[in-house]
Structure 1
Amino acid sequence: MKLSLLSYFLLFVVSGLKNMVATNPSVIVVGAGPAGIAAATKLLENSITNITILEAGNRIGGRINSVRLGDGLVDVGAEYCHGQEGNVVYELVKDLDLLQHSKPCTPEYLKLYYSNGSTIEEEMTMNLAKLIQNYDDEINQTCGLSLGDAFLPVYNSTILKKYENDKQKLKVATEALKYTNDLILLHEGAFSWLRPSAGRHYRACKGDQGMTWKKGGYHTILDVLMKSYPDPSQKLPIDDKIFFDKKVTKIIWNNDDDEVIVKTFDNSSLTAHHVIFTPSIGVLKEQKDSLFHPQLPERKENAMEAMGFDAIVKIILHFPQRWWGDDDVDFLFVWSKEDLLNTIHEFPDGPSQHGVSWVAQIVALVEVPSNRNVRIALFSGDLVPKIEQTPEELVKRGCMYVIRKFLGRDYNVTDADKIIRSQWYTNSNFRGTYSYEKHGYFKREVSYQAQLAEPLLDDEDIPRVLFAGEATHPTVYSTVHGAIESGKREAERIINLHKK
């Protein structure tokens, strides 16, 4: 049957629209953290410029948050560049003289203190440090167990057995299990070491795992991505595409008109051909039932359930006088059983658990190499949500109590005059710090991160909602470089789609 002139005209219009979509797709990026910025900059570099970035907060960076304190910057969130080989963060900045290597794990720099104010002998300190550094390798082949259940036999055989014939050393080694537990939880970001799986798909990039920023804080990587550093004149046209205080409340993704509708808390409504969703898995877990229409596929919900997302706390303390020495890198704390149970009497204010005060959750007091008068107290464990809500002045008093208890014999500890603390778990825009694989779900042949990354397809199998963020990276989840790689990955997916 011959087509009428009107039919030819309509085919011409539809064909023209399809070509226009292919050459100038519109993209909404939800979230201006490292994944969102990486996605947006990758699109801009490939001439996809019809981009809108919706950020729920009032700044870019997400879980990167570099703020000024005293004479320099401190990182309230992401702080370390983990590894060199295959690490996109390292590759982007390695020639810019921005990173400094961590100091070696030796008695010269690592000081493990007992709660009576004495230092723990070098041999035990180094044995514990070596075990903690390598715990992932020790337990990674143990499938079907929680991290804690897999680690305990290793601890017993490598630490307790070594000191079984020395009653006093065995007592300290037994008490140091809590310190080991708490320090591992800092790495995992979990409230309990019974939550993460002993088996995991994480693969560390080779090289120094603790590189820090010489200047500018971790925020510098965002400037590098946006090309405002090192040459501001080369900056990508991204500023006018970022809209702050635009919390997304609804994503309607399978429409007849081939566009996604995005609604925000202030009753704005936007449309785009594609949406790249980058908020944390904590936000995704909390809001999935109300956020997406239609609902997310069961496969994606199962992937979310298989992944954990808790938090740690940083208490960043500024001291008007520097009371520690230049070689004092990290102070680490081991509580005696007696002192641990006495914390509730010596420091009764604030939350407690099992007759022990919250202050006992301070794992370490670490340096900030680029900010000489600052120390960071690190907390882990399941009291973290309550610690985040404890009044700031009480938090400072608690930190000073612990610092003086452990270090007051060797140092003339002065009071901190300023404090900044993290509150990632109670912040509705994050609900935690970084992801881990949950015990009870791990299967070596299944990547739940990859399932979480799968885009939502419309009826014509076109990806309409794409997912990025550290929790969607199959091997380096929980890291900034994982987040950046995931953002670039989803941008590349859109770029390739519209090249066809």
Structure 2
Amino acid sequence: MIYRQTLYIFFFLLSRTNNVLAKSSSVIIIGAGPAGIAAATKLLENSITDIKIVEAENRIGGRIHSVKFGNGYVDLGGEYCDGREGNIAYELVKDLDLLEPYTGEFSQVYLSDGSTTDSELKEELLVAVYRSYVENITNTENVTLGDAVLSKYNKTVLSRYENNKQKLKLATDGIKLIENVIILDEGIFSWHQLPAKVHFIECEGGFMTWKTRGYHIILDILMKGYPNPDEKLPIDDKIVLNTKVEKIIWNNDKIEVKCANNTSLKADHVIFTPSVGVLKAEKDALFEPDLPQNKINALEAIGINAIMKIIIYFPQKWWNQNDSVFFFLWSKEDLPNIKNEFPDGPSKNGISWLASIPMLSKVPHNPNVFSLWAVGDLIPEIEKSSEDVLLRGCNYLIKKFLGKNYNITNADRIIRSQWAINSNFLGTYSHEKVEYFRSDIFPQSILAEPLLNSKGHPAVLFAGEATHPTQYGTVHGAIKTGIREAERIIQLHNDK
């Protein structure tokens, strides 16, 4: 009797073991940015532990990159937590006292002769038109954002000043500042690249900034390493850095991932999370078999450009306590003269790279540190410039605009982003392209569809901000897509 019971227990346990093994899944995650980390942690939390995260950079984070600079942290990539409602990043941190509302205590528009605009024109330039842009100025398809803003601006601002030559000139010169501020927000090279009507949905609740740690803290929270490091998920030994993927052979029972260091990995599923810039550039060589035509078409409809941060440190304070943001408005007459006054660095059509910088902003909770934001299609060339040229150019620019009102001291240290020229990113975040936009088609959703193997099972799954239909271009969108694809695998795992 005991013998028969023992056999029964043995075969029962064996069947349970075989059942567990049958349900196990192996997963390779390409990219250790917010989407990749979110996917990995979701899988680990659901007992799918046979995972490997392959990252081309020497760090995790992707386009989140918080580094120590000055007396605190600065973000070279994702910086603001954009809204509360529907924002998973906010939901993850809201009870941890890590965020505060971004107020921009005091901002002013300075002209290239060192003077300032009056309050009425400042309102017109930076509030009225910008607010109308945020509030969806048109519902007409096939109209560029630039054309829509200019149409409204001509009617509401330029027409108001048509009998005042001085203000009309300032308002006309200010159009370039308006464009630069808007394309800074959108991450595009020109406001004529973006449709005025888009699928993007803003999270309500305003911008928030990180108090001390930078956006990188969201990765620690996802991995359960913050606020209690003892609760961190067993993820560190599953991450392989400095390993670039060169080939994904996906139409077999096991997907093979070949890396540049001559290593090869196999798994049941691959979650691909790198930027859409990388996917667009490497799609022909990366996938075997090739991507289907619907994915190629979706990639054509999604663009990616870049913005650049130049972060500088002043050893001596020159600003007022409440100063927060300084906007720079060039007169058309001064633009060609920049090269004479500061000849170093790239230019286009005779206009210096310095005209690509619309603003200087104080970095919160980091005394003596400011950010300059550069925009436009000169970004790749600016990123290639030496730190010496960038530092001297920024000192020149700040003194030119603010020197009449402040006793400007020189910044002596600099750190900058290089997202456009880094082959592991090739841009900052995605946008929709005006020539492909249709209200009823979401190219991001098409891009998110998994590649099915010969048996009809999801082989390659796609995550990353560019695969979210309404929150593309954001960290919270990226996190959601990583969780989405992990849940797809979890469901398959549970259905076995």
TM class by shorter chain equals: over 0.9
Partner of 1:355: 350
User: Take 1:140 and 1:396, find their aligned partners in 2: how far apart are those partners?
Assistant: 40
Residue 289 of structure 2 corresponds to residue 294 of structure 1: yes
Give the residue type in structure 1 aligned to 2:75: D
- The 8 Å contact of residues 22 and 499 in structure 1, kept in 2 or not, is answered as no
1:213 maps to a residue whose letter is: W
Q: 1:466-477 residue pairs with structure 2 within 5 A?
A: 466-477=461-472
2:235 to 213, 233, 238: 238
Answering whether residue 373 of structure 2 is matched by residue 378 of structure 1, we say: yes
Give the alignment of 1:431-442 within 5 angstroms.
Answer: 431-442=426-437
Contact map agreement 1:145 1:440 (CA 8 A) in 2: no
Report the alpha carbon displacement of residue 140 of structure 1 after superposing the two structures with TM: 4.6
Shift of 1:20: 5.1
1:417-471 superposed Cα distances (whole Å, 9 cap, x missing partner): 1100100000000000000000100000000000010000112221110000000
Relative to structure 2, which stretch is displaced further, 288-297 or 153-162?
153-162
Distance 1:327 1:303 in 2: 46
SS in 1 for 2:176: helix
Distance 2:163 2:489 in 1: 64
SS in 1 for 2:444: helix
Q: Check whether the contact 1:274–1:464 (CA below 8 A) recurs between aligned residues.
A: yes
Q: For residues 305-335 of structure 1, give each alpha carbon's deviation from its aligned partner in whole angstroms, at most 9, with x where no partner exists.
A: 1011010110000111121122111111100
Provide the secondary structure at the position in 2 that maps to 1:450: helix
CA distance in 2, matches of 1:399, 1:311: 19
Q: How far apart, in 2, do the equivalents of 1:213 and 1:328 lie?
A: 19
* Contact 2:271–2:462 under 8 Å retained in 1: yes
Partner residue, 2:222: 225
SS across alignment from 2:154: helix
- Match of 1:139, SS state, is coil
Counterpart AA for 2:69: L
* 1:328 aligns with one of 323, 335, 339: 323
8 Å CA contact 1:163, 1:170 repeated in 2: yes
Distance change in 2, residues 1:24/1:407 (3 Å): same
Residues 51-450 of structure 1: matches in 2 within 5 Å?
51-103=51-103, 109-130=106-127, 131-208=129-206, 210-255=207-252, 258-450=253-445
2-structure distance, mates of 1:102, 1:359: 26
Q: What is the Cα deviation at residue 39 of structure 1?
A: 0.4
1:176 is paired with a residue whose SS is helix
Take 1:365 and 1:408, find their aligned partners in 2: how far apart are those partners?
Answer: 14
Name the amino acid aligned to 2:230.
Answer: S
Per-residue CA deviation, residues 167-221 of structure 1 (Å, 9 max, x unaligned), is 101100000000011111111111111111222100000011x211001100000
- State the one-letter code of the partner of 2:147: D
1:220 counterpart letter in structure 2 = I
CA distance in 2, matches of 1:458, 1:21: 21
How many angstroms does 1:146 deviate by? 1.7
Task: Quote the residue 1:11 is aligned against.
Answer: none
Can you list the C-alpha shifts for 1:99-151, whole angstroms capped at 9, x where unaligned? 011115xxx61111111111111121122222224413243512112221222
Question: Which letter does structure 2 place at the counterpart of 1:79?
Answer: E
CA contact 1:22–1:498 (8 Å) conserved in 2: no
RMSD of aligned Cα (Å):
1.4
Percent of aligned pairs with the same residue?
Answer: 58
| Partner AA of 2:261 in structure 1 | D
Residue 22 to residue 180, structure 1, CA distance change in 2 (3 Å): farther
Tell me, in whole angstroms, the C-alpha distance in 1 between the residues paired with 2:205 and 2:138.
19
For the residue of structure 1 that corresponds to 2:291, the secondary structure is: coil
CA distance in 2, matches of 1:31, 1:450: 20
**Residue type at the aligned position of 2:248:** I
- Opposite residue 62 of structure 1, the aligned amino acid is G
Aligned to 1:42: 42
Indicate the residue corresponding to 2:3 in structure 1.
Answer: none
Taking the aligned partners of 1:250 and 1:21, their CA distance within structure 2 comes to 28
Q: CA deviation at 1:18?
A: 8.9
Secondary structure of 1:440's counterpart equals: helix
Aligned to 1:25: 25
1:482 maps onto 2:477 in alignment? yes
Change (3 A) 1:453 1:22: farther
SS at 1:498's partner residue? helix
Q: Distance in 1 between matches of 2:56 and 2:138?
A: 37
In 2, Cα distance between equivalents of 1:297 and 1:139? 36
Structure 2 gaps of 5+ residues are: 1-14
Amino acid at match of 2:305: D
State the AA in 2 paired with 1:238. Answer: I
Describe the shift of the 1:115–1:261 C-alpha distance in structure 2 as closer, same or farther (beyond 3 A).
same
Runs of 4+ in 1 over 4 A off after TM superposition: 15-22
Q: Is the 8 A contact 2:70 2:367 kept in 1?
A: no
More deviation, 115-124/93-102:
115-124
Which stretch has the larger CA shift, 319-328 or 440-449? 319-328
* TM norm structure 1: 0.94
Q: Which residue of 1 aligns with 2:4?
A: none
Please say if residues 188 and 305 of structure 2, whose CA atoms lie closer than 8 Å, have aligned partners that are also in contact.
yes
Shift of 1:261: 0.2
After superposition, the C-alpha distances for 1:373-397 in whole angstroms (9 at most, x for unaligned) are 1000100011111101111101111
Distance 1:18 1:129 in 2: 65
Contact preservation (8 Å) 1:75, 1:218: yes
Label 1:169 to 1:336 Cα distance change in 2 as closer, same or farther (>3 A): same
TM-score normalised to the size of structure 2?
0.95
Offset, 1:342:
1.3
Equivalent residues of 2:136, 2:197 under 8 A apart: no
Distance 1:412 1:136 in 2: 36
* Residues paired across the two proteins, number: 480
SS at match of 2:82: coil
Q: 1:355 to 1:25 in 2, by over 3 A?
A: same
Output the amino acid matched with 1:364. M
What amino acid does structure 2 have at the position aligned with 1:81?
C
Residues 326, 361 of structure 2: 8 Å contact kept = yes
2:489 is matched with 494
